[in-house]
Structure 1
Amino acid sequence: MRGGTSMPGMFVSFPPVRMHRLRRMLDDRIRSVGLSPRGWTASCMTLVCLMVWPLTGWREFLSAGMAFGIPLAYAMLMARGGGRLHVTLEAPDAIVQGDEVRLRLTASYGARRRFGCGKRRFVIRLVVPIAGTRSFDDATGTSVPQPSSTSRTEEWFEIPPLADGASVTLDRSWTASSRTILRIGPACMRVGDPFGLVLRRRYMSDAITVRVWPRTVWCLLPASGSLRSPEGSPVNGTVDDGLDFLSLREYRPGDPVRGIHWPSSAKTGVPMVRQYEPWMRIATVMAVDADPNGYSGSDEFELAVAVYASLGEACLSVRRPLIVTDGTWTLRPASVPAWLDHCSGIAPNGSDAGRGERPEASALPTSTMWSGGEGVAYRFMVSGSATSPEWTGHHTRDETSGTRQVSFRIRFGERPSVRTAAWGTVAVVGALADLPKVMGAII
């Protein structure tokens, strides 16, 4: 090949994505071996000595290779234990803040055990992290990763020697001091050797999730709704437009021609106009400010979530449609447990002021996205003492269709109060126990 030409396809370039996958796969393979830094040193020395010995013929290299290789092989054989140990984790799916988390571990052996394994004591490490939630930093007023709502990061279980087919059950319990989502497990067994050459982590079970629901209080709600026309005007009796046909009446001057029922008009000889049932507005729309800058501290933010959860639970308990929105997404919880599951994962969202984090579909299996269908009777907004006017203006609208708007301002430790604004009602809540009194004043 002359003139600097090259055959097409001779040089193959790998895209960055494939190189990244190859590097990650290689890292996973290296980690799966389970060698410690000392073990990698011993393996490299063994390989070098055994490769140099045939070239030089020096028996010293053979002796050195065997001195490094035999302990390494023995360590890898010792680290193979525990393959027949079966572990399961059990815990309640959801608890209320302040209750105990009861974790149960059940370990059992298979039918046949190799020689010497029955004398080993297995230590299983349980990691209890907080998954998908963040806490409030009172010093800076920002959201930070939450280390643990239980002041624990892991639990250690010591499995005693067991006979073939035997099992043991161990229990642990602690108090869930804050609202969060706990990810427990998987149970991990550390297997090593006396030389420190091999250190493997074997995951023995699946991870489980425990949702810690916020505390709630029972409170009254305003009337179930009001009769409205499709345009939103309050009415009594029937309306001239709607979905459910109810009756007929005689034509009046000014009635639209499209509302005339022609078959009935032909029979009676008098123009007859359709009459429909008015809409009953019973749905409640709710929103909470998730910006940590809108709250004076973690106590105020948690109180806002508790008020938010209590209002939603009150709506769902009497089977009122509940619509949760932040302006960009809209969700309709189908039951009280689904609603409290959603509230357990509410977290400060940092710099994205006024926007709650969109819940994952797997987090709310019994909830559906809502795109309309019920008339909105009430709009509840829950915010902090320092919430920006932009967030309030984003969620409060100049309603001419009869929707009643109530803004709950959370000010931790202050006395409750209710006042009227141009767009609706403003209620100040200083403690969760004050919410029933505030709702009584609003009603």
Structure 2
Amino acid sequence: MTTAPERATSTPAPDPDTGTRPGDSTAASGTTRLRRVVERERTPVQRVVDRVVGEQSVVGAWAESAAGWARRTLLPVVEPITGFGWAVLVGTAAMLTAGVLLGWKELIVIGLVGALLLGAAVVFIVGRNRYRIELDLAYTRVVVGERALGRIEIHSAAQKPLLPATIEVPVGKALASFHLPRMKPGDVHEDVFAIPTSRRTILQVGPVRSVRGDPVGLLRRQVKWTDPVELFVHPKTVQLDETAPGLIRDLEGITTRDLTSSDIAFHALRDYVAGDDRRYIHWKSSARTGTLMVRQFEQTRRSVLALGLSTSPDDYADAAEFETAISILGSLGVQAVRDEMDVVVQTSRQTLPATTGKRLLDALSGVEWSSRDDRFLDLAATVAQAHAGASVIMLHAGATVDPALVRRARTLLPSQARVIVFTVVKDAKPRLQPIGDTALATIGSVSDLPRVMRGVALQ
């Protein structure tokens, strides 16, 4: 007699927290008992702390929700109110309250007049303007002293005529304002403006915004239509000769004390070791000694130009010297990049990007001095630490840096590097002064730099 096979049944895995399986009749009661035991084991202080933390999380979520509601609802209502508008609003409420409480009709009349003014001001800003505005700069990079031209083109994107408005374009800390006349659907209005660039800086132009307000100045509603555009005002630079003399120490680079089996700078001969490249066997010496001899070389490295700029006001007589120092550094750096040299630029505060001439001039546009920045000697120590492999080091400072300070700075710099220090002295004639193995170049204007560099090449 054959018996039917038993039906296979799957047993659910037990819960890792309670040790019970789903479907177990005692699962719910076991879990409840476990939680009660854990709750009894907690001290009263711990239970109070848990309650307070829970209440704080609820209060925090409620506060965040209320803040979001206020930003969405209240901010658009109160943002158009100007300072004068707030004064009139508070004065109107005070006059009406005092007039009603004291029974003074004169105060009530003054309060009503204020309320009428506020109501009339609302009429001027109610409504939605529909524009399509384009902001365009002829050049986003100009040299200090040049005028940068900008253009705004305003298209009416509404189905109905738009009331007159004011268009504002922030330019740095200044503000350009234009009157926008009444526009019909499809109208286009264009304005051109010039940006004076009297100093080296990075200007943020825009965003373009439309402004509507009442004649009294109680309410002012503005809407932004474009993103801001950066305008880089580069320092003045001069063109130097190609492969400017004095910039490159030598064509092969600088030699080091590290020995290698293949390079340019010959050092000595040594016995042949299995695995050496046979191309470097010195056959004449091998024939004379009877053993194989191979050449040994000193490792050379690519020439690196390190430019250092002090940004401490104590190293300059005035701001004009600081600007000239930046122009000199920019001229040297741009020429070195053109000559495909490795260039590093270090200020008292930070390292500037110098992979291309444009990036270097962009970075120099935003350099400012500060009394908290390191002075000349500290700059020399930073350059020595951060760029110890530099073959040419050029430091830039002002009239307060004297030869004694230059001597002290030289002791901090790498011994293998050629060091040139540029000190800017207002209206000074260019001259070169050797201080040991350091060249001290005194210069009064960036236009004298090509002449100074030709003198450096002769030293």
Per the TM superposition, whether the score is higher than 0.5 is yes
Change in 2 beyond 3 A, CA 1:22/1:318: farther
SS at the partner of 2:332?
Answer: helix
Corresponding residue for residue 262 of structure 1: 275
SS of the residue aligned with 1:312?
helix
* Equivalent residue, structure 2, for 1:218: 239
Q: CA deviation at 1:67?
A: 9.2
Whether 1:129 aligns to 2:172 is yes
Q: Find the counterpart in structure 1 of residue 141 from structure 2.
A: 94
Residues 20-29 or 222-231, more deviating: 20-29
2: CA distance, partners of 1:401 / 1:241: 22
Per the alignment, do residues 241 and 106 of structure 1 end up closer, same or farther by CA in structure 2, a change over 3 Å counting? same
Range with bigger deviation, 306-315 or 387-396: 387-396
- Residue deviations 1:38-73, cap 9 Å, x none? 756659979xx9xxxxxxxxxxxxx99999888756
Q: 1:388 to 1:187 in 2, by over 3 A?
A: farther
With over 3 angstroms needed to count, the CA separation of the structure-2 counterparts of 1:69 and 1:22, relative to structure 1, is farther
What are the residue-to-residue correspondences of 1:150-189 with 2, within 5 Å?
153-189=174-210
State the secondary structure of the residue aligned to 2:429. coil
CA separation of 1:261 and 1:338: change in aligned 2, threshold 3 A: farther
- Structure 2 residue runs of 5 or longer lacking an equivalent are 1-43, 97-108, 377-385
Counterpart amino acid of residue 90 in structure 1:
D
Q: Given the two structures, how large is their TM-score scaled by the length of structure 2? A: 0.67
Q: Residue 397 of structure 2 contacts residue 424 of structure 2 at CA under 8 Å; is this kept in 1?
A: yes
**CA displacement, residues 92-120 of structure 1 (integer Å, 9 cap, x when unaligned):** 2100112111011111111523xxx43x2
Aligned equivalent of 2:453: 439
| Amino acid in structure 2 at the alignment position of 1:438 | V
Q: How does 1:25-424 map to 2 (within 5 A)?
A: 31-33=75-77, 34-36=80-82, 42=89, 75-76=121-122, 78-91=124-137, 92-113=139-160, 117-118=161-162, 120-129=163-172, 153-193=174-214, 196-219=217-240, 220-222=244-246, 224-226=248-250, 227=252, 231=256, 240-241=259-260, 252=270, 260-262=273-275, 273=294, 275=296, 278-326=299-347, 329-354=350-375, 376-387=390-401, 396-397=410-411, 402-424=416-438
* Cα distance in 1 for residues equivalent to 2:195 and 2:277: 73
In structure 1, distance between residues paired with 2:62 and 2:424: 52
What's the offset of the Cα at 1:388?
8.2
Q: Note if contact 2:263-2:299 (Cα within 8 Å) is conserved in structure 1.
A: no
Q: Whose helix fraction is larger, Structure 1's or Structure 2's? A: 2
Letter in 1 for 2:300: W
The residue type equivalent to 2:260 in the other structure is: D
Q: Secondary structure at the match of 2:256?
A: coil
Deviations 1:117-168 (A, max 9, x none): 43x21111222125xxxxxxxxxxxxxxxxxxxxxx2211112222223322
The 8 Å contact of residues 399 and 423 in structure 1, kept in 2 or not, is answered as no
Deviates more, 1:295-304 or 1:197-206: 197-206
SS in 1 for 2:391: strand
**Within 1, Cα distance between the matches of 2:308 and 2:83?**
53
Change (3 A) 1:39 1:322: same
Distance 2:47 2:91 in 1: 40
Give the Cα separation in 1 of the matches to 2:413 and 2:112: 85
Give 1:310 shift. Answer: 1.0
Q: How far apart in 2 are the matches of 1:302 and 1:288?
A: 11
Q: TM-score, normalised by structure 1?
A: 0.69
What's the secondary structure of 1:376's corresponding residue? coil
Please give the alpha-carbon distance, in whole angstroms, between the structure 1 residues aligned to 2:63 and 2:323. Answer: 42
Identity %: 20
1:397: how far off? 4.5
SS in structure 1 at match of 2:260: coil
Instruction: Find the structure with the greater CA-based Rg.
Output: 2
In 2 relative to 1, CA 401–262 (structure 1 residues): closer, same or farther, beyond 3 Å?
farther
Change (3 A) 1:97 1:223: closer
CA contact (8 A) 1:221 1:314 kept: no
C-alpha contact (below 8 Å) 2:210/2:224 kept by paired residues: yes
Instruction: Tell me by how many angstroms 1:381 deviates.
Output: 0.3
